[in-house]
Amino acid sequence: MTTHIELSPSAERIADAAQALVQQVGYNGFSFEHISQIVGMRKASIHHHFGSKVVLGVTVVRRYAAQFDGALRQIHVSIKSAPDRLKAYADLFETTFKNDHLLCVCGMLGAESKSLDPAVNAEVKKFFQLNLVWLSDVIQEGLANKTLRSEHEPKELAETLLSLLEGAMLVGRCLKTPMGPRRMFDLVLSTLET
């Protein structure tokens, strides 16, 4: 699902700003005025590109998911062992976290989901599904070729590892010296390696 998203240069900058704001303060924490200040355009101009905040929100998640999907495909072609693929996966979260303690777009929106438009929630759900399928496949393969060992189902392990990474970013925001997603991931992963 390499959904291609075509945006004009201005729309691109607006979506970039919106994404950064979602990762910092959440959907309910930003306004068109905030975006206006970042991109140097008036609120009305933003509405020209995105008819409503919901449309903007949906676009932000779609783009984010597409970019993430690309990163997962890249990992798949450049890394072959299951444990190393999983570590590269965790690094995607680590990188975001190290960047000023930004949250995952969908971690933030997941927290806010009960106040969001169903259209936004649907995209968030797709993102998580995308992650879980990819993780399950990698784990499945690792179990098959004995580079991983566990008595649990790949689906269960996938959901657990994803939750761990999302939670690590969330909790890490509030601590002075957080471990960070990658170290926690390694801690759990080490119990699965052969």
For residue 49, give the nearest of 61, 39, 88, 103 by alpha carbon. Answer: 39
Listed residue (83, 58, 99, 66) closest to 181, CA to CA: 99
Please say which residue, 11 or 111, places its beta carbon nearer to a copy of itself: 111
Q: Does 103 sit near a copy of itself (CB under 8 A)?
A: yes
Which tokens is 75 given?
Answer: 């990992």
User: CB neighbours of 144 closer than 8 A, spacing ≥ 6?
Assistant: none
Q: How far is the CB of 36 from DNA (least distance, A)?
A: 8
| Under rule CB under 8 A, residue 92 binds a copy of itself | no
3-state secondary structure (DSSP) of residue 48: helix
175 is an interface residue for a copy of itself by CB under 8 A: yes
Residues between 106 and 165 that touch a copy of itself (CB under 8 A): 106-108, 110-115, 121, 124-125, 128, 152, 156-157, 159-160, 162-165
What string marks each residue from 56 to 95 as x (binds DNA by CB under 7 A) or -? ----------------------------------------
- Residue 29, strand partner residues: none
